[in-house]
Amino acid sequence: MAIPNPQTDWQFEASASVTSDIDYRRAWKAYAIRKNIALFLLYSWVPLCFGLFWWSRLSIHQPLASLLVMAIWLSAAVAAIYWAGETRCPRCRRRYGALGHRKGDTNLTRGLFDKVCANCKLRKFEVIP
């Protein structure tokens, strides 16, 4: 039988799933929700740290509790980023927003900020009729 080839296997998977009627819009919507949750948790972590630091310093005087909240928030952000990265590309079913799939790029242009599928070059939020 044919030897599995990661370079071309997606084409067979894609052509095999044409009849199964992929819902691109729903897949992208799910991805957008995950991505927005991940980015919200990530970007809100910095103001949260500043806020907790000053709140603790000026008012509640609970530095350990504040640190604990910061740590929990950061782990939630990391978990959400991982969760968003686990989203499958609607065409080739490979992990879409995950790190470590392309060579020669920095991490800043990969992961959640990827514009194309590293595997089948499907553009983000592209809908194939």
Torsion over CA of 30, 31, 32 and 36, rounded to 10 degrees? Answer: 110
Choosing from 52, 84, 92, 98, the residue that interacts with Zn ion (CB under 5 A) is 92
Q: How far is the CB of 118 from Zn ion (least distance, A)?
A: 8
Binding-site size, Zn ion (CB under 5 A): 7
Task: Find residue 18's DSSP bridge partners.
Answer: none
Our finding on whether 87 is near Zn ion (CB under 5 A) is no
Q: What is the length of the chain?
A: 129
Span near Zn ion by CB under 5 A; candidates 25-33, 36-44, 48-56, 87-95: 87-95
Q: Is 119 in the site for Zn ion (CB under 5 A)?
A: yes
- 89 lines the binding site for Zn ion (CB under 5 A): yes
3-state secondary structure 56-117: HHHHHCCHHHHHHHHHHHHHHHHHHHHHHHCCECCCCCCECCCCCCCCCCCHHHCHHHCCEC
Query: How would you classify residue 105: left for phi > 0, otherwise alpha for psi between -120 and 50, otherwise beta?
Result: beta
Residue 122 touching Zn ion (CB under 5 A): yes
Nearer to Zn ion, 69 or 95 (CB): 95
| Site membership for Zn ion, residue 120 (CB under 5 A) | yes
Options 18-26, 54-62, 64-72, 120-128: segment touching Zn ion (CB under 5 A): 120-128
Applying CB under 5 A, the residues found at the interface with Zn ion are 89, 91-92, 117, 119-120, 122
